[in-house]
Structure 1
Amino acid sequence: MKIKDFLKENHLNINDNAKLLLEKLAIDTSILSKLEETYGKSDKMSKSKHNTVDPDEMIKKYGADTVRLYTLFAAPPENNFDWTESGIEGAHRFVKRFFNYITQHLDLVKDVSYCEEDFKNLSEEDLKIRKKLHWTIKKVRSDIERNFQFNTAIAAMMELLNDLYDYKSKNPKVLREVFEKFILLISPFTPFMADFLWNKLGNTGFTINYPYPTYDENLLIEKEKEIPVQVNGKLRATIKVPLDASEEEVVNIALNNVDVKKWTEGKQLVKTIFIQGKILNLIVK
């Protein structure tokens, strides 16, 4: 009888005790995936199968914050999920990137204070990261309050961290606001790291004793919109225009765009096709 048939007949699968055996023999358990392709897939975790994950071992290896974050991120609370090594390693990378970014920039924000007056006349990049911060706060609060959607809340914070790594200006006052509010925002998910970083910023006590961050609705109101510009039906540029800009104003902005100029200079503008907030098409000859 073939191994595959034997397993099927006895209601067994390749993962029954195999993971435990391979671990004891110090053999890479990734071989299981190849065996499963040949002899059948593994079952869900079960104590009787000896294929469960020991939380103490995971905490020892990755830390309690990573295990907590991964458990909340892996799936919506109403769904089951398959524990994967790659999944928890991904969560661990995020935790480490968050920790490293803030600790590496502590000198920039040390003893820095800020008020709303400091955020007037910011550069475009500074304003962009502030908008992303406040958008993230709104998203996280909404997702938690609406059916405890922790996974999408964490995904939004991952987006914010990526944007922080791309943030070149590093305005100390802007960074200070981002750090403080981001730490409080993530504190229910990674409380030990949050408390440590909170104190590193010079604050006292535990994050749980501080109000959860709120967002500035004014920062979430879009005053400009990007629209594509076509010349004779072909996309040539994307421009930013005020939301309430008239067709004449949008055409002027487009004609002064470097990429559009290459296709319109020296030519006659015959017609414009404009859909507000959507698209501008310049017909030239």
Structure 2
Amino acid sequence: MGERPLRRFIRRFRRERLAVVALIVLALFVAASALAPVLAPYDPNAQNLANLLAPPGSEGHLLGTDHLGRDIVSRLLYGGQVSLLAAVQAVAVGAALGVVPGLLAGYLGGRTDWLIMRVTDTMMSFPPLILAMTVIAALGPGLVNAMIAIGILFAPRFLRMARSAVLAVREEVFVEAARSMGIPRWQIMSRHIVPHTVAPLTVTVSVLASHAMLAEAALSFLGLGVQPPDASWGVLIAIGYQNIFTAPDMILWPGLCIAVVVLAFNLLGDGIRDSLGRETRHPVKE
């Protein structure tokens, strides 16, 4: 009997050392954010006006305090919760809106494909930031509304990737054989086509998760995302920018967190792609 797909994936993934390191880094960030109530030394919104802009290494404050005397470590931990959750929300909205139409467009073709792709082209013709700001203006500022806006922007990318994956496999011999046997379309789609879209869509999820974090940071920086006094890494960058001349280190910590997590998402996506693909970079010794 052949090797099970899951075991084959794990065996291949373990060879991708950068991807394994990226997965560990993401797991550490997720764990630290999830355990923020336990790990954070202070309430992230607790102000201490007698200890404003304390430098890193100050007594009781490893990374110092902000302009309101709030502990930066605590706000980084709680901000990680918000930023990571925002990435999940945006990707979920984009996948929900884009994957199914992309599968239908690729498999059915004809007028269905033409109509879906023209709608997609129309959406992609708008400048992304302007479209996001328009959605937020209609729904109101806030994290959920901002991530809905970003998810809408991601939907065409999911749609195009799903359509491309279906087009690459729908004319394969095993699909033609299934059609000749009279198997219903929905069974062909679910059993023979959808499994072959997992690899490219997984990479898309990973890459767009990193883009979602950057988008959340940008919108929060502009005041359209997370609203004070709640913390996110984007909000912390905005506060650091406001105090860049008096406490330049404040902008470093959230920026470093975003950079590391975005890099980890991209490396993880590359590793998953190579592990799920039909071919691998390394010869397999059976």
Same fold by TM-score, threshold 0.5 exceeded?
no
TM bucket by the smaller chain? Answer: under 0.3
TM-score, length basis structure 2: 0.27
- Could you say which structure has the larger radius of gyration? 1
Higher helix share: 2
TM-score, length basis structure 1: 0.27
Higher strand share: 1
